[in-house]
Structure 1
Amino acid sequence: MSCYRLQNILTALPACIKITYNPQPCYLTFTSPTSNNSRVLCCGYSSKNQVKKMEAGHHDLSKVTVVGDPQLLQRRIDAVRLAGPAKLQVIADFDGTLTNYFVNGRRGQSSHGILKQGNAEYDDKRQALYEYYHPLEFSPTIPVEEKTKLMEEWWGKTHNLLIEGGLTYDAIKESVTSSAIAFRDGVVELFEFLEERDIPVLIFSAGLADIIEEVLRQKVHRSFKNVKIVSNRMVFDNDGRLISFKGKLIHSLNKNEHALEMAAPVHEHFGDGDGPINDNASVRKRTNVLLLGDHLGDLGMSDGLDYETRISAGFLNDNIENNLSNYRKAFDVVYLNDAPMWGVVKLVSQMCSTDKMSGNDKSSGITGGAGAAKAPGSGSTGSVSGFDSGATKDGTMKAPGQDVRISMEGFEKNPAGYFRDLQKK
């Protein structure tokens, strides 16, 4: 984002917001008059330059992280931490959330866009449907009920074309092999961290589960027993030819926990014989949620779940000037410019820490204190968790992938470095 375009952001903000400009590197600090601790950092690097710095190993997350209300986020982190990992589940969108928005300096492909069924006529027909229905999907004038029917119509026609056009599983493999799709740096480590703590991950997608699984197979080369995919699933005959779709149709307006019966563990399709960590009923009992998405509509993925605490993390990959204000209001934390997943790894480590907490605990890097609500029965006005602010803690956490304890502060400062060193052992 060049400096002369900062005016687009400034005009979108309320006049009461105090703004401090730092040109080297270029970023803004926003301070709300209602809370001196509420501030936002906006990265001033262009997306391509920022991606290059990330790839070079410079994970300065403060330059790509936006937190609209640090005190509220801290209270939610403390609530999840107090309840423990057994109450936590992670809900994640796939395209543009788990995967990079840019790949090799160009716009990456989505799991929808990579599919070539080996029949040009039917590829063209599916593209024609896209060109007709896609504008309707984002039309602000079409009522939700009518739009839902249109999406069901679009997805149904597309699925029929895949069957009629003779899609084979070999075509899916070839499509993924030749695709420009890649996972964000840190996604595998996030899955491993959660797997070790028996925390389920639900990947919600309005696309095709079989394609997502093939992407995992080719790009990650391993399975995760805690990961399930909630998406449209294909049925193939003995010759690997698509003959039907299984279960409920999932489209862009109903990919939420109402569709949980469509969830299937990834490991079943990798030939892993171990059973899943959680069945769908037990997942619903996990009433604390970390939600990951890249569109405002992804916030609806938790619909159907009676959650107690939800922390939402949004990836704002492009068009930041026009969307930052809305994303900052909607998500608890926003990661800019196609950022890596290390910020979420750090966030999860804070949520799963066994440290005792207080309203003055700044181990998460998010200021608490004055705005923290009094916990019932805590007897301390500054306590979020119910622990007294003078409680002791050893500042350690269980090391991911090892049966030892390590400094949580050290891990949070450089999670990427920790996992790199672990892989060398």
Structure 2
Amino acid sequence: MGYLEKNHVRVKDPVKTEELLQRLISGGFPKLQIVADFDYTLTRVHDETGKRLHCSWGVLDNSPLMPEFYRPESKVLLDKYYPVEISPHLTEQEKIPQMVDWYKQVQELLARSRITSISVRQMVEESNTQLRQDCVVGFENETIHMFNKNENVIHSSPYFKNMSGRNNVILLGDSLGDIKMAHGVPDPGAILKIGFLNDKGSLLPQVEERLSSYEEAFDVVLIDDQTMDAPMAIVKLML
């Protein structure tokens, strides 16, 4: 597959990846579902000029429509909990309770902010957030955070019933925790994991320091790729 031979694409095990691709193609669309993270996976990290783009939380943090107390209180929570999220010294089970606390406190902060659906729409329209080309999204049902991203959280939803029989998966994510998003797929078939290794500035170690761990976790690693060209190329193989 030509796209996977580009300079910014890393495939640690070409034989395994080719086998997964052939199984996806053989199963076709009736057997396929796509499971994707949102921030900096479906959305872009920077634009063509290199300008940094907002994630979902960045839309709120940078909007003048939010009350004055929101940004400093949100930053206190970020400074407290984000080091926990990315700590290599804590287990996932040690992190989960603190991540739940973080989300609950942010939700309480949002409730005090008295924002409306109209104001959120305006914030998004005025932000610099950009979806990658060919992305469509929606939100409903249970809250999914960074450590419960798996299909067990949607087992009771109509969506899950509609996915019955679709046991081949193309998984898209930008963090190591995202590789678990397909856990819970009944009778899993071919699961192709595509990782977006983004340059996140000073928030995380640089790309070179994280490449090895991403190659271990994902079948295909896309280095600072702000497009959906790779997933779309794979889907087109199935036409």
CA distance in 2, matches of 1:316, 1:143: 22
Residue 315 of structure 1, aligned match among 189, 196, 205: 196
- The answer for the alignment partner of 2:26 in structure 1 is 82
CA apart distance, 1:282? 2.8
Distance 1:300 1:152 in 2: 18
Q: TM-score with structure 2 length normalisation? A: 0.85
| Residue number in structure 2 paired with 1:146 | 94
Evaluate the alpha carbon distance shift between residue 106 and residue 140 of structure 1 in structure 2; reply closer, same or farther with a 3 A threshold. Answer: same
2:6 is the counterpart of 1:119: no
1:61 and 1:343 in contact (8 A); partners too: no
Report what 2:179 is aligned to. Answer: 299
Q: Which residue number in structure 2 is paired with residue 281 of structure 1?
A: 161
Aligned-partner Cα distance in 2 for 1:105–1:94:
20
- 1:76 is displaced (CA, Å) by 1.0
Relative to its length, the structure with more strand (as a share) is: 1
Q: What CA distance in whole angstroms lies between the structure 2 residues aligned with 1:94 and 1:279?
A: 18
In 1, the alpha carbon distance for the partners of 2:106 and 2:50 equals 30
Distance 1:282 1:60, change over 3 A: closer
> Which structure ranks higher in relative contact order (CA pairs < 8 Å, sequence separation ≥ 6)?
2
Q: Output the aligned Cα RMSD.
A: 2.3
Higher helix share: 2
1:167 to 115, 124, 129: 115
2:4–2:11 contact (8 Å) kept in structure 1: no
1:102 match: secondary structure: coil
Residues 160 and 94 of structure 1: CA distance in aligned 2, closer, same or farther (over 3 Å): same
- Post-superposition Cα deviations, 1:174-223, rounded to whole Å, max 9, x if no partner, equal 211221211223x24xx6xxxxxxxxxxx6xxxxxxxxx5xxxxxxxxxx
Is the contact made by 2:45 and 2:226 (CA closer than 8 Å) also made in structure 1? no
Q: Which runs of 5+ in 1 are unaligned?
A: 1-58, 192-202, 204-212, 214-228, 234-246, 264-277, 354-425
- Alignment-mate amino acid for residue 338 of structure 1: D
Q: Which residue of the partner structure matches residue 105 of structure 2?
A: 157
Alignment partner of 1:113: what SS?
helix
Bigger radius of gyration: 1
Shift of residue 320 of structure 1?
2.3
1:340 aligned to which of 227, 231, 236: 227
Letter in 1 for 2:57: H
Change in Cα spacing, 1:63 to 1:90, as seen in structure 2 (3 Å) is same
- Counterpart residue number, 2:203: none
Aligned partners of 1:327, 1:144: CA distance in 2, in Å?
Answer: 17
| Equivalences for residues 39-58 of structure 1 within 5 A | none
Identity %: 31
Contact kept in structure 1, 2:4 and 2:230, CA below 8 Å: no
**Taking structure 1 as the reference length, what is the TM-score of the superposition?**
0.50
In the aligned structure 1, how far is the partner of 2:236 from the partner of 2:176?
A: 25
Task: Flag the 1:138–1:61 CA change in 2: closer, same or farther, 3 A.
Answer: same
Contact 1:289 1:311 in 2 (8 A): yes
Gap regions ≥5 residues in structure 2: 200-205
Q: Does the Cα contact within 8 Å between 1:65 and 1:334 map onto a contact in 2?
A: yes
Runs of 4+ residues over 4 Å off in structure 1: none
Q: Work out whether residues 64 and 339 of structure 1, in 8 Å CA contact, stay in contact via their aligned partners in 2.
A: no
